[in-house]
Amino acid sequence: MFSPKSLNADMLTVSAHKLGGPKGIGALYIDKPVLTAKKFVSYILGGGQEGGLRSGTENVAAIAGFGAAAEYHIKSGTRENFRAETDKLRKFLEEHLPESVICNTPRGEYMPHIASVTLPGVKSEVMLRFLSERGIYVSSGSACSSRHRGISQALLAFGLGEAAADSTIRVSFSGSTTEADMLALACALREGVNRLKR
């Protein structure tokens, strides 16, 4: 559990879809000193909604969906169990991956719901197509980098070489992901590596 103060954050964004809420809605935390000092400028000007921070009609349905998702997580205790459950799923996946496949296990603090998997000899885009034909959807990078083709700069900075970075997929877990899902992924990766390896 964290708070903006524990992170020493002046500003913090939260996306609703990361906790099962609707896509396209989020929240922005702004520390009071930053807000009162007016150290940032709105890029959507007009009617003055949101205290002049973001003009335009608010998406009430999406806001309500975000609130409902947050409330569900608080009441169900999901947030307390999420890290333990996703760590367990990550370990389960690692145990069932083919020997040639590398799970890029993070060091120190990391987001538990994302796993990075390198498939030596198989380009990530080729594996993505192979998996999607079997109803398994993963990605070769974050959604925010999906329009920028080429080798992930984040993976290179993480220490992977160009060939390994070009053969790495990103697996995301949610509260509804099961060990059966992980086993299906591991089996499909095994089949894909055997068929697609250069």
Reduced to 3 states, what is the DSSP secondary structure of residue 22? coil
Q: How far is CA 20 from CA 26, 68, 72, 137, in A?
A: 12, 10, 10, 17
Tokens of 154: 């984040």
Distance linking the first and last C-alpha atoms of the chain: 44
Q: Is 144 noted as a catalytic residue in this protein?
A: yes
Q: Are 53 and 46 in contact (CB under 8 A)?
A: no
Annotated catalytic residue, options 37, 41, 144, 157: 144
Of 107, 102, 85, give the one whose Cα is nearest residue 173. 85
Q: Is the dihedral of CA 187, 188, 190, 195 positive or negative?
A: positive
Q: Which residues pair with 102 in a beta bridge?
A: 118
Question: Would you please indicate which residues are annotated as catalytic (active-site) residues?
Answer: 144
